[in-house]
Amino acid sequence: MPKKIPMRQCVGCREMKPKRELIRVVKSPEGEVSLDFKGKKPGRGAYLCPNPACLAHARKSRALERAFSAQLPQEVYEMLEQQMAEGDA
């Protein structure tokens, strides 16, 4: 039997993809939003393709704000863009 692959929806392009191919964006219990490359941070998560276009789309459509029920300041998006460009350093 093939192992079932956990699928998640990218909040940018809205496509379902295997969880491990996506970047988890997490909002901590303290309200801090960051990228979670290891998938281990506590808090509420949303998923994005490792693709700046998906982040740009999510920003435009406010998908992350909806996912987290919170306002995301511009600095957060800039940080996400930077972290995405740098990858898992």
The residues of the shown chain that bind Zn ion, judged by CB under 5 A, are 10, 12-13, 49, 54
Residue 87 to residue 82: CA distance in whole angstroms: 8
CB 35 within 8 A of CB 80: yes
Which phi and psi angles does 39 have, rounded to 5°?
70, 25
Smallest distance, Å, CB 1 to Zn ion?
A: 29
Closest CB to Zn ion among 32 and 62? 62
Closest CB to Zn ion among 10 and 46? 10
Smallest distance, Å, CB 69 to Zn ion?
A: 21
